[in-house]
Amino acid sequence: MSMDRRFLDFLYQRIGLDAASVGPAMIERVVRQRQAALGLAALEAYWALLSSDDAEQQALIEAVIVPETWFMRYPESFAAFGRLARARWHELGGARPLRVLSLPCSTGEEPYSLAMALFDAGLSASAFVIHAVDVSPQSLAKARRGLYGRNSFRGDYKAFQARYFTATPEGHQVQPRLLEQIQLQPGNILDPLLLAGEQPYDFVFCRNLLIYFDVPTQQQAVNALKAFTREDGVLFIGPAEGSLLASNGMRPLGLAQAFAFVRQPAPAPAPRLNTPLPLPVARPAPRPAPVTVTMAPVLRPVPPATPVVEAAGSAALLAQIAALANAGKSAEARAACERYLKDHPPQAQVFYWLGLLSDAGGNALEAQNFYRKALYLEPQHPEALAHLAMLLAARGDAEGARRLQARATRALKEPKA
């Protein structure tokens, strides 16, 4: 039985959720669970209750929102944030605290990670303030408690866990010095009054939220994020959301794996007509903007018949491509991709890099072709799906963009091994 459209529309209007991003079947399952929990025999009876009961409306939203986060997720972002924040603090000369926003903050892992990164960068508690906002009171309650289990710690976490947490029988408790740095509050990015009266922030983290919205809602959210960020501030987003910011007047900062964006510089004013124009001066061609590689090389299992030497050479060339792309050497990275494809079997990640290089060079059609080749080899390549979705949206293919964005969202839900 297909999902009743009224429930999909309710979630879209309240939190901007595009049903295609999580799948209508998942929403139907949650609705049925809420209906059963309340002992209601008919779906119509549940709709009548939902329409008039604020508590049940929030309960359904809480049931649909499934937080998937952990401490220091995308560690390169936090390392870059610490360096940038230290530099900004020195520029300010202590005139005011740094202002940082985490939206959505979910169950608190991200804002506490931000505080850890700032302490590790040498900043004192008085040097910064972190505002953390989420639409879910349940998630905020867990963030306020600051007690976390094993699922919140992944990757290389032992060092910061020892510095900033206290082990208890129930789990790991955030130390008071972190709890005191975070100001938690409920809020919805689509609310025009959100953070009204607050000054813009030096750093804004909004990662993996835009992928759950349709194209018009994405635009509304991006406008809000730009308003929250200072003119000279930095906006950190998720790996699959870069193309959306690039099409809205922002550019990547060029820090590998950081997914950090700043505003494009304003165009120079046109010269006045009565002002003599300077003679043209020959200038060297500018270097291409760095291309941020959004995921580590994905190496396919080597067939038993493949010699070990050949496999090692393949891995080395993949690493070289990543290094060249991250250094902004677009021409060299493209040449390395072509060498790889000439001497090795086709690889989805190589076609994805070629798509990024074409995208950065302004060749959308070529980028689209490369992303499609990547998806032919690896149908659930999340970044290729997301970037191709953005290109389709820019061309007006909203339905095609919606389908690809839904696939990208599902592919991103599981953390990489």
**353 three-class SS:** helix
| Residue 222 and residue 137 in one domain | yes
Helical pair 348-360 and 308-326, crossing angle rounded to 10 deg = 20
- Res 278: pLDDT: 40
| Residue 219 and residue 313 in one domain | no
| Residue 198 and residue 315 in one domain | no
Judge whether 348 and 384 are in contact, CB under 8 Å: yes
Kindly state whether residue 211 falls inside one of the protein's structural domains: yes
| Residue 382 and residue 237 in one domain | no
- Res 308: pLDDT: 40
| Residue 144 and residue 241 in one domain | yes
Kindly state whether residue 21 falls inside one of the protein's structural domains: yes
| Residue 124 and residue 237 in one domain | yes
**Residue 371 is part of a domain; what is its CATH number?**
1.25.40.10
Q: How far apart are CA 341 and CA 347, in angstroms?
A: 8
- Res 326: pLDDT: 67
Percent of all residues in the chain with a pLDDT value above 70, rounded to a whole number? 83
| Residue 388 and residue 320 in one domain | yes
Kindly state whether residue 285 falls inside one of the protein's structural domains: no
Q: Model confidence over 46-105: pLDDT tens digits?
A: 999 999 999 999 999 988 886 778 999 989 999 999 999 999 999 999 899 999 999 999
| Residue 225 and residue 347 in one domain | no
Kindly state whether residue 20 falls inside one of the protein's structural domains: yes
Judge whether 328 and 254 are in contact, CB under 8 Å: yes
Q: How confident is the model at residue 324 (pLDDT cuts 50, 70, 90)?
A: confident
Q: Model confidence over 96-115: pLDDT tens digits?
A: 999 999 999 999 999 999 99
| Residue 340 and residue 408 in one domain | yes
Number of domains in the chain: 3
Q: Higher confidence at residue 65 or residue 327?
A: 65
- Res 395: pLDDT: 66
| Residue 52 and residue 80 in one domain | no
| Residue 361 and residue 407 in one domain | yes
- Res 91: pLDDT: 95
User: Residue 232, exposed/middle/buried by CB under 10 A (0-12, 13-18, 19+)?
Assistant: exposed
- C-beta atoms surrounding 340 within 10 Å: 22
| Residue 314 and residue 202 in one domain | no
Q: How confident is the model at residue 309 (pLDDT cuts 50, 70, 90)?
A: very low
Residue ranges making up the domain that contains 316:
308-412
Q: How confident is the model at residue 2 (pLDDT cuts 50, 70, 90)?
A: low
